Structure formats: C-alpha cells, structure tokens
Structure 1
Amino acid sequence: MTTLELLGFGQNGWGALLLVATLMTLAVTATALLIGAVLGTVVAIAKLSGNLLLVSLGNIYTTVFRGVPELLIIYLIYFGGSSAVTAVGQWMGYEGFLGLPSFAAGALAVGIISGSYQAEVYRGAYLAIAKGELEAASAIGMNRMLRLRRVVMPQVLRFAIPGLGNVWQLTLKDSALISVTGLAELMRTSQVAAGSTRQYFLFYIVGGILYLVLTSLSDRLFNRAERRANRSMPAAAMGQA
C-alpha cells in the first residue's frame, strides 16, 4: 500500500482511526486539566491558609506528585485501583476481576499530576495580586465573597493563564503515557498502526506531527486568552506584571 492509502480514510486506511485517537487525546487532556484545576485550587488554598497542617499537606501533595515519575502514578491508579475495586467486589460476593475504565483511570492519574502543578500556578497568581487592591476593596466595604468575585478571581485568572498554558502542554504530553492502559488515544493508535503495517517510521512521525499540531494550536489559544485577559490593563502595568 502507498503512503496515501495507509493514511487515507478508505477501508484499509488509518486516517479515521488517527483522527478519532486525536480527539480522544484532547478529551483525556481536557478532563485531566479539569480534575487538576479542582485539586490545584484546593491545594493552593491550603498552602495559602497559613495553617501549619494544611500547608504541610499541600507541600506533601505537590512534592510527591511532581517528584514521582508520571508512569508510576498511572500504574498505581490503573492497576492498583483495579485491584482495590476487585477486592471490594469480592468482599461483596462478586467473583472475577473488576478493572477500572481506561479513560477514567488515565484522566484521574494525569489530573492528579496536573493538579500538583496547577496548585503552584494558582498560588503564585494569588501572590502576584497587589495588596493595595485587596486593601482598597476592603476599605470600600466589599465583603469576602464580593472581593473574591470582583477582585481576586479576575486577577488570579489573568496571572495564571501563562502558567496554565504550560500545564496544558505538560498534560497533553503526559496523556501519551495512558497508552499503557490500552486506551486508544493518539500514542496507542500510532503504536498499533505501526505494528500492524510494519511502517514504524511513518506512523510515529505522523503521530509526532499530530502532537505538534495540537501543541501549536493550544499555544495560539492560550496566547489569545492571555491578550484578552490583559486587554483592559495599561501597558505599563502589564510590563510590571
């Protein structure tokens, strides 16, 4: 078969499967980023609370999940989680192995990793807010929730966007590791296509190009979001930030 036939959308082509796999990669990455956003926000609040116990727990979380290899965490969540679910099922009288869904386990594992990085992004974004703005908001009578909604959240979002762009790229690349669970995302599909056709060079190059396309488009989206978030800021203030 020719290269065009291998990459086409015909009966023997891999084009449709690669397209679906690319969409699966985006779905896993987006889900993991959302999970990480929730975890990262909670951990950032804990580390900013000033409570010794909460600060210590937050530091342990970010240290562990930024220091342990990502693949090990995926193994622990997928295989260890499946073993735990199977043990619970056997305790309830169910016989047989109960495996975690590949998508859910993979997104959770990568989301936990992403959360450890997002926590530092949100913490740094909050610390970048000028104290004078918070003091001014209190001086004019804003309560805590109103300050959070009108002052803190918009500022945190503005300062966090560049860091979140980097976390998205990291999460996108980490999603390739989920291929060990058998999920048909871009990396796994590229491996299967390469093994089935013996065209390893071709399909790994195509997989790499598709990842580069995703990262390039992501860069543009985050750059546009950053410009939009800063559109009302004076140029001097943006330079200082």
Structure 2
Amino acid sequence: MALDGYGPLVLAGLLTTIELAVLSIAGAFFVGIVGASCKLSSRRSLRLAATVYTTVIRSVPDLVMMLLLFYSLQMWLNGVTDRLGLHQIDIDPFAAGAITLSFIYGAYFTETFRGAFQAVPRGQLEAAAAYGMTPWKTFCRILFPQMMRHALPGIGNNWQVMIKATALVSLIGLNDLIKVTQDAGKASSSFFFFSILSAAIFLGLATATNVVVFMLERYFSTGVRRVGA
C-alpha cells in the first residue's frame, strides 16, 4: 500500500519530531547540569530547591505536567495582555513543547548527572586544584569527560523516553509525526497502517539512538582499561 499522497506530510511530521527531540534534549541536558550542580552544592537553599524540583516533576505524569504548563502559561500570558490592553499572544506549540519537555526531563537528567558527578574520584579534582587549574578548566578537562562516561547509559535511556514523549506535544496542536499519521489514517480510512508506520519510524529513531550512544561510549571510554582486558 502506498502512502496515498501523504508521504510529504509524514516526512514533515518526522522532521518536526526530530527537531523537537533534539532541541528538548539540549535544553534538558543544560537543566540537568545546573540541577545536579545545585544538588551537590554546599548551599542548603540550592540543594533544597533542586530536590523539590526533581521530586515534584518526577512524581507528576508527563501528560498532566505538559497540559498544566502549557495552559497555565497561556492563561497567565492572556491575563498580562488583557491588563496591558494588548492583543492576545498565542504560545507557539513547538516552542511550548520544547520548553516543557526540557523542564520535565531536566529533572531526570539532574539525577543522572548527580550520580555521574559523584562517581568521579575526588582526588583527581583535588589534584587539579593543586596544579592551579581554574574550576572551568577542571570541569572541561577532568570532570566532564569522566562524568559523561558514567552518565551515558542514563542519557541514552532518557533520550529514548523523550523521543516517545514528543508524541504528547500533538495534544497541544503541534503537527508532529503522531498527529500527521493520525490525521492521514482518519482521512484515508487506513488508521492501522499509519499507526504501524509511526511505530516503525519511532523504532528506527530508537535504534539510531542506540548506535549514537554506543559510539559516544567508545569515545569517552578511550584510554580506560576494561575489566578482563
């Protein structure tokens, strides 16, 4: 069976999904680094704020958090424009989805990076300080490369879950892969075929992710002796 002329739409939806996933993981990666730093901070207020953030976000279902953040932000923005006498500003679904996914999965990356940071031997950081290395050089040359080696399994898992979570953004009006294939299935009375197609595409994305993570693991494990070698 052909795609009944819906091929370009499916391709556009796929590209939107990939763009959303890449932008979201970049945002979640940044939030995770900041969150992990706060959790390991010597300041009690930062540790408390990071703990509240990760606890609340990981306890609330992603769908509920997605709808809550999107509609609450839109309502708040509508209230501001009404008070200022401005025209209503509608939040772009793509931007809203990327920000929301980054915020949600930043909590999971926070825990991943926290454990990875703690796995780096403290003696190496003390040695870097003794040699006069700045905190930024210590992070780039010693902490980050070793942290990534420990964090990559968790990053790979979070990345695959985030790819699937992009389907939630279709509920707020984004023409991603899920919404496009659903619309195509309803219009062509081939809902089962387009559902299988979307599932196969997501499976392909997950497989490609595994390959990328494997290559990154080999890169960050360079010079590390494996057990039994």
Q: Are residue 65 (structure 1) and residue 57 (structure 2) matched? A: yes
- 1:91-124: CA deviation from partner (whole Å, max 9, x where unpaired): 11125x4321000111111111110011111111
For 2:52, give the aligned amino acid.
Answer: I
- Rounded to whole Å, the distance in 1 between the matches of 2:101 and 2:37 is 21
Mapped to 1, the partners of 2:101 and 2:136 lie a distance apart of 31
Cα distance between partner residues in 2 of 1:178 and 1:143: 42
Counterpart of 1:163, as a letter, is G
Name the residue aligned to 1:230.
Answer: 221
**Residue 167 of structure 1: aligned partner:** 158
- Quote the residue 2:146 is aligned against: 155
Partner of residue 68, structure 2: 76
Out of 10, 13, 22, the residue aligned to residue 21 of structure 1 is 13
Give the match for residue 123 of structure 1: 114
- Cα RMSD (Å) of the superposition? 1.5
Contact 1:37-1:118 at 8 Å conserved across structures: yes
Superposition deviation, residue 212 in structure 1: 0.4
SS at match of 2:91: coil
Q: Give 1:88's aligned residue.
A: 80
SS in 1 for 2:125: helix
Sequence identity (%): 32
Q: Quick one: which of 198, 213, 233 aligns to 2:204?
A: 213
Task: Report the Cα offset of residue 148 of structure 1.
Answer: 1.9
Instruction: With the length of structure 2 as denominator, give the TM-score of the two structures.
Output: 0.94
Q: State how many pairs are aligned.
A: 228
CA distance in 1, matches of 2:132, 2:63: 50
Q: Give the Cα separation in 2 of the matches to 1:105 and 1:140.
A: 45
Shift, 1:52, TM fit:
1.8
**Does the CA-based 8 Å contact 1:83-1:99 persist in structure 2?**
no
Structure 1 residue runs without a partner (length 5+) = none
Question: Larger relative contact order (C-alpha < 8 A, sep ≥ 6)?
Answer: 2
Q: CA deviation at 1:134?
A: 1.7
Q: Could you tell me whether the CA contact under 8 Å between 2:146 and 2:220 is conserved in 1?
A: no
Matched residue type, 1:29: A
Alignment partners' CA distance in 1, 2:100 and 2:108? 13
Rounded to whole Å, the distance in 2 between the matches of 1:138 and 1:80 is 46
Structure 2 alignment gaps of length 5 or more: none
Correspondence for 1:137: 128
